Each structure stands twice: as C-alpha cells, then as structure tokens.
Structure 1
Amino acid sequence: MSSHVSLGLVNPKSAVNVASILRAAGCYGVNAVFYTGQRYRYAKDFNADTRAFHKLIPTIGVEDLFECKPKGSRVVAVELVENAVPLPAFEHPDNAFYVFGPEDGSLSNTLIEQVDDVVYIPTHHCMNLAATANVLLYDRLAKRDYDVTNAFIRRSRDQNNRTAHNKL
C-alpha cells in the first residue's frame, strides 16, 4: 500500500530549521511541506540551503493548514501536551499530515482539538523544530517495511561515499 506524508508548520521562525526539515523530508519521502505565517516567507530568500531544497519538496505557504490537508490523511499534532501519546507507542497512519508548532511557541488548543491524534517525543527537554521532525520521520520509517539492500544504500548515499563493509 502506498502512503502519503505531508508536514504542516505553524508560523515557523527560522529558515535554517525549515531547510533542515526540507532535507529530512527528502530523506524520508515526504510529499509536501505546508507552512503558515509570514516569518518564514520573509527569511527563506536569505537562506541558501532553503532555496536548494525547494526544488526537491513542494513548500507551500497557506493561511490555514486544515484547508490544505491532503485528502484521506489523518492529522497528527506533534507537541509536548498532556495526555498525548508517546511516540514509541504511536502507530503511524499510512496517510499522515503531521503538524508542528513554532520554534518559540506551541500549537493552540483550538488546533489541537481539530486533529485526529497528538503525539510527543519523550525527552528531558524540548527539542528544536528540525530535530523533532527528523525524529518523528525516522520513527515512521523504523516502524514500516523499508528497503534493506545494498542497492538502496548506493542510491541514498552521497556521491563521494563509496565505502563498503566487507567483514560479513
């Protein structure tokens, strides 16, 4: 079964964080990244990393994340809130729209009430936006079937990496 994964960023502040999220999106097969607010719109043109990743992953500014929710997707808020499900216990839906709060704030109660699921990453302190997206996307991959062949490794690695482990 194919899956569709999109990310929604509520008023992201840092173009560097968004660039890191776009890199993760490319690595983990995310279909699109949507964002609200003006802060990222103003900052993105000044960040060379962000411009490079726009070519790989559609990055779309919207007024309301729920208006662009991909059809058939479950909306999953990723936030440190009481009564949320810890990520290790969470079963990712095939079609997911993961929503993240801003670096300097939280998702609103109004938004939390509209989502299908709320998960949190159990850490001793809150992580930054890009780290949170990377951990969530890795968890999704780790809990699914994925290609474990050397051909996959060759396709995924940097062009300058030709290292092989021959002790098997």
Structure 2
Amino acid sequence: MSSIYDFSARTLDGQEKSFNDFSGQALLVVNTASKCGFTPQYEGLEALFRKYKAQGFVVIGFPCNQFGAQEPGDSTEIAQFCSRTYDVTFPMFAKIDVNGPQTHPIYEYLKTKAKGLLGSEAIKWNFTKFLVDRKGDVIARFAPTATPRDIEPEIEKLL
C-alpha cells in the first residue's frame, strides 16, 4: 500500500468507508477511548476539526479497548458517548485493535511509517496521534500526552 488512501474501515454505524474518500485532505488519526485520563482530548480534537475542516482537515477516531479496557462499549454506546459528552462530529470508526495479531491494516501501515519512542512501532496508549498530509503520507506521530493544541502548528503547516 502506498498511502493511507488505499485502506478502508468500518464506521461506527457499520458502513465500510474507503479512506480514498479523504483523498486530498490532511488527516489526524487517533486511537480513542471513552474512559481514559486522556478522554477530554475529544474536546480539543473536535475544536481542531471544526476550525480547519473547511480548509481540508479531518480528524478520524478509532476506538480501541486494548489499554486498560478503557473502551468497553459497543458502537452504539461509543457513538452516544462521543455525541452527548463532547459533541463529536468528526468521523468515528468501529472499535479496532492497534497492536497484536488482530491489528487493523490501517494501524499496521501507520506504525511502520511513523515509529514511536526509541523506534518502537507499538502503540503505547490511547490517544496516540498520526498526522497525514494531503498526499496520504504519514508526516508525524504524537504521544498521548501531546494535546490537540500542541499539534495545531503542525496541522497549519499542512493546510
């Protein structure tokens, strides 16, 4: 696969969505969880999405239950939580694995293109973020501690 646009994933409402639909847009791909200390980052992610979506920027959320079982809900529960608690309007996909034998192909791709601390490919926790340019190339990986506000200057460079 040559870019993230070659992949597809199932949305929270069960529809298969091609990432080619995001072609030409800058993306911030995030593994999320509803019961994590970093969960309040949903607010900042939504703010970035609303601020820059007209300029071709999309935040994409992938719920994941691999870290402390902090995303125990099903798709309906996740969608309700995101909508009611943080008024999330950016695309949210079905729960996936980001590590291990069942890792979603999108995350296999992202992890090989942008390694983490000390060159590790493994995702260490919820709210790890990958910034993708308009050509579908992975530009950067950010730790969970990097807030959406911290990443904003890098997003602006891509727009």
Alignment TM class, shorter chain as reference = 0.3 to 0.5
- TM-score computed with the length of structure 1 as normaliser: 0.40
Structure number with higher relative contact order (C-alpha < 8 Å, ≥ 6 residues apart): 2
- TM-score computed with the length of structure 2 as normaliser: 0.42
- Answer with 1 or 2: which has the greater Rg: 1
